[in-house]
Amino acid sequence: MERPMSQTPSHSNWVWPRLKLCGVRSRTPFLVAARGFCLVLWLWACGAIGQLKAIDLQLNLQRPSMDRWMYPFNFEPGIRPVAPTFASFDPRFDTRDAQFLIGWDTDALVPTNQPVARYLFRSVRLTLTVVGNSTFIYDPTFDSYLTHATNSPGYFVDTDPGRPIEVFGVGFRGDFSPATFKENSFFGQLNSINSGNISIETRNAYAAAFDDRGHWIDIANHVGQHNAGWTNAPFEVHPWAVGVTAGANPGELVPADSQFTFDVDLTHPRILGYFQQALSEGRLRLMVSSLSPATQVTPGGTGGGGTGSYPQWATSDNLLYDAPRLQLEGVLVSEEDTDRDGLPDDWERFYFSGLTSNPNDDSDQDLASNRIEFQCGTNPTRADPIPIAVQNLRVLQIEPEGTVRLGFQSKPGAKYRVEVSFDLKQWRSASGEATPGNDGADSVIWKETDPTVPPTSRFQAYYRVATE
């Protein structure tokens, strides 16, 4: 085995094995994104769907199946009529201190246990109602973590008043899951970073998002912590949706009974995958969060100050204001394929408004044909990272400093080169070390050692293997 060479191969030198893509054999160059989550997610997406008929998903869920104010000092879990969301810059608590967990069980409305790639979405909207008059300032814009004067040396002042209301997914710990965490489940455990009766980042259900590496993480303290025991560096988190309202203008105090709507960003493939998986499991959970401080005169805050200057939301137990509502539009794809091109009719109509698409076309020019896009659950009209489930090229590990470890099968006497791209268009040889793997005589482990590639860029990189 030789280390990758520098010259670029001709198209004819690419290894063209018969790869197993989502259970379908295809002559496709092995290409994989260095995003382990996508690999796992879309491997699960492939499978049989039986004789399911197409179902239009037009859900207008007026009340959640469960909701819970996720606050450590909530002594009435599951029955409180109001759920405030606010931040605390007290070093004893999570920065995203008070969160609002909302869940819908959809198993009685939408068939479950189908391959997640068959759940297609046009829109997902959450609607919440404000309780309490003029208690917080309306901010419909994203705020960087650098606008919070916690422990970030790059701090800068937020240019507009208030803090946005944000929606994320929900993560679980302590052996809990969407099925087992209930309205009255235990909030969380103490750990070494605590102050007697509460601890940091230990809640059993928490606001979660995907970081730049594709890891599913608790975002409770991403803006930084002053606690001496907390050594994690702050990092940017982009919300899945930011709340907007017609009840106030930006910078104004929000009146009671105003409704906030949150339109989820489904263009992000991992966010889309979260909703697809949730419907397949029959349980969708969302977390509402705000970094409006408990008093808007704390570091990074803006506004009139005083206590209680944060949003408060009506729960399903509120008798005076509307409960949280979820609207979801999409389709659950059936097997019907009247033109026998390997692409289900519902899938073609959803993306192409008809049955004229060719399964071998690469409609978005991202090196994946329409057939592969369907098999692996990606959008054929948008050049996304390609989570192709290949048999002999895989991401083994993404190490903390950004080093990527790939594994693939080799042939005796063959010479290989690994190439890297950051846009799926321009490719170049990638420096690395190749060593025998431990899962077979012809297995190879390749570790990237290219010093010219910034570590953060490696999490956005794509790799392919060529023969010399």
Kindly report the backbone phi and psi dihedral angles of residue 239, in degrees, each rounded to the nearest multiple of 5, phi listed first.
-65, 155
Q: Are strands 259-263 and 119-129 parallel, antiparallel or unpaired?
A: antiparallel
Query: Which one has a higher pLDDT value, 134 or 448?
Result: 134
Categorize the per-residue pLDDT at 221 as very low, low, confident or very high, splitting at 50, 70 and 90: very high
User: Which of 359, 105, 384, 127 lies closest to 272 in space, CA to CA?
Assistant: 384
C-alpha span between 262 and 265 (Å, rounded): 9
User: Which of 294, 303, 300, 297 lies closest to 248 in space, CA to CA?
Assistant: 303
Q: Do residues 101 and 68 make contact, with C-beta atoms less than 8 angstroms apart? A: yes
DSSP 160: S
Q: Do residues 350 and 361 make contact, with C-beta atoms less than 8 angstroms apart? A: no
C-alpha span between 437 and 370 (Å, rounded): 33
Tokens of 264: 């989820």
Categorize the per-residue pLDDT at 397 as very low, low, confident or very high, splitting at 50, 70 and 90: low
What is the pLDDT, as a whole number, of residue 453?
A: 59
Q: Which of 10-14, 94-98, 426-430 has the highest mean pLDDT?
A: 94-98
Q: Is the pLDDT of residue 25 over 50?
A: no
Please state, as a whole number, how many other Cβ atoms lie within 10 Å of the Cβ of residue 103.
24
C-alpha span between 148 and 226 (Å, rounded): 12
Coil, helix or strand for 226? coil
Query: Which one has a higher pLDDT value, 372 or 102?
Result: 102
Distances (CA, A) of 100 to 91, 169, 223, 281, 316: 21, 11, 19, 21, 12
pTM to 2 decimal places: 0.72
Q: What is the dihedral of CA 41, 44, 46, 51, to 10 degrees?
A: -120
pLDDT tens digits, one per residue of 327-346 = 999 999 988 899 989 899 99
Kindly report the backbone phi and psi dihedral angles of residue 201, in degrees, each rounded to the nearest multiple of 5, phi listed first.
50, 50
Residues 6+ apart with CB under 8 A from 11: none
Least confident of 110-114, 280-284, 325-329, 398-402: 398-402
What is the pLDDT, as a whole number, of residue 301?
A: 42
DSSP 187: -
Q: Do residues 375 and 46 make contact, with C-beta atoms less than 8 angstroms apart? A: yes
User: Which of 208, 236, 209 lies closest to 223 in space, CA to CA?
Assistant: 236
Token pair 């007697």: residue? 196
- Maximum distance among all Cα pairs of the chain, rounded to whole angstroms: 75
How do the residues of the chain divide into helix, strand and coil, expressed in percent and rounded to 5?
10, 30, 60
C-alpha span between 99 and 73 (Å, rounded): 12
Residues 6+ apart with CB under 8 A from 151: 224, 225, 226, 234
C-alpha span between 465 and 187 (Å, rounded): 47
What is the pLDDT, as a whole number, of residue 37?
A: 25
Least confident of 5-14, 198-207, 277-286, 305-314: 5-14
C-alpha span between 318 and 382 (Å, rounded): 42
Domains and their CATH numbers in the chain: 11-46+389-467 (2.60.40), 55-332 (no CATH)
What is the pLDDT, as a whole number, of residue 244?
A: 98
Q: What is the dihedral of CA 214, 215, 218, 221, to 10 degrees?
A: -70
Tokens of 155: 């701090």
